[in-house]
Amino acid sequence: IIAPVQVPTAFGGTDQCMLMTFHDLTPLRRVEEMRADFVANASHELRTPLAALSGFIDTLQGQARDDPKARERFLGIMHAQATRMARLIDDLLSLSRVELSAHVRPDAMIDLKPLIKQVTDGLEPLAKERQVVIELELPEDAATIAGDREELLRLFENLIENALKYGASGGRVVVSVVAAVSGDGVPEYRALVRDFGPGIAPEHLPRLTERFYRVDVGDSRSQGGTGLGLSLVKHIVNRHRGRLLIESVLKKGATFTVCFPQGKPQV
């Protein structure tokens, strides 16, 4: 920005000068680029099932019109694609809701023990389907943190559902909560979700919480994933002043740890 200014001189008068101000627009531009990327990715992800739906509608109106067997099969696929779209939209909405409230600290007092139990009870049908046993290792006493109930439910749903989906079928998933102290001396609760499946290669670990990032697109798509789950988890953890750690050894499994300060935060 260039603007004329009057500057006092040593002799009591004024001189006209030009003032140049420099603003670094890089961070702003980066946010703009991220937003544009996000819209492009979201549109692409929504367009894929939509294209499949249009294709099948054409086929149903044309060659499959008089073939009840093909009609039945196509309707099944269309149903799955519509479910995928609905899931994608749900995840996008949850993500934007959490992002919008990022500056507000959730402050309801929540015991992680019954909350996690509620999540694992809800995921029991999926565990049965994948023939996985969920083992709970919870402390005797309440594990209370300041949080948002709905968000914490979403967080644990995502982590435990991933462990069931991507962990070994026929294996086990261990969900535990322990009291600990953070590196800077803050008492915290750590919740760990551990599976003993194929694990995640080290090069993928830093990118897992990026929106739409999936390790094996084929496999993740077949599992009905949107690639938004861990991004949502990261945002929820940040809003709760927590930390998310992801550790994995290939062919041995993966451990997702979330750490939250105990009780009400001091500030």
Residue 216 engages ligand ADP in binding (rule: CB under 6 A): yes
What residues from 138 to 177 belong to the interface with ligand ADP (CB under 6 A)? 158, 162-163, 166-167
Cβ-closest position to ligand ADP: 225
Residue 254 engages ligand ADP in binding (rule: CB under 6 A): yes
How far apart CA 201 and CA 204 sit, in angstroms, is 6
CB 209 within 8 A of CB 230: yes
User: Which residues partner with 41 through β-bridges?
Assistant: none
Distance in Å, CB of 143 to ligand ADP, minimum: 22
Of the pair 49, 167, the CB lying nearest ligand ADP is at 167
How far apart CA 64 and CA 58 sit, in angstroms, is 9
Residue 106 engages ligand ADP in binding (rule: CB under 6 A): no
Of the pair 156, 166, the CB lying nearest ligand ADP is at 166
Which alpha helices (H) appear in 9-67, and where do they start and end? 26-61
- Binding residue (CB under 6 A) for ligand ADP from 49, 147, 197, 261: 197
Terminal Cα-to-Cα distance of the chain (whole angstroms)? 39
Closest CA relative to residue 189, chosen from 254, 237, 235, 144 = 144
How far apart CA 227 and CA 68 sit, in angstroms, is 35
- Binding residue (CB under 6 A) for ligand ADP from 101, 220, 238, 262: 220
Distance in Å, CB of 248 to ligand ADP, minimum: 7
CB 146 within 8 A of CB 108: yes
Of the pair 106, 229, the CB lying nearest ligand ADP is at 229
Give the interface segment with ligand ADP, choosing from 30-38, 102-110, 148-156, 192-200 (CB under 6 A): 192-200
Cβ-in-10-Å burial (0-12, 13-18, 19+) of 171 comes to: middle
**Which residues sit at the interface with ligand ADP, rule CB under 6 A?**
158, 162-163, 166-167, 195, 197, 200, 208, 213-216, 220, 225-231, 254
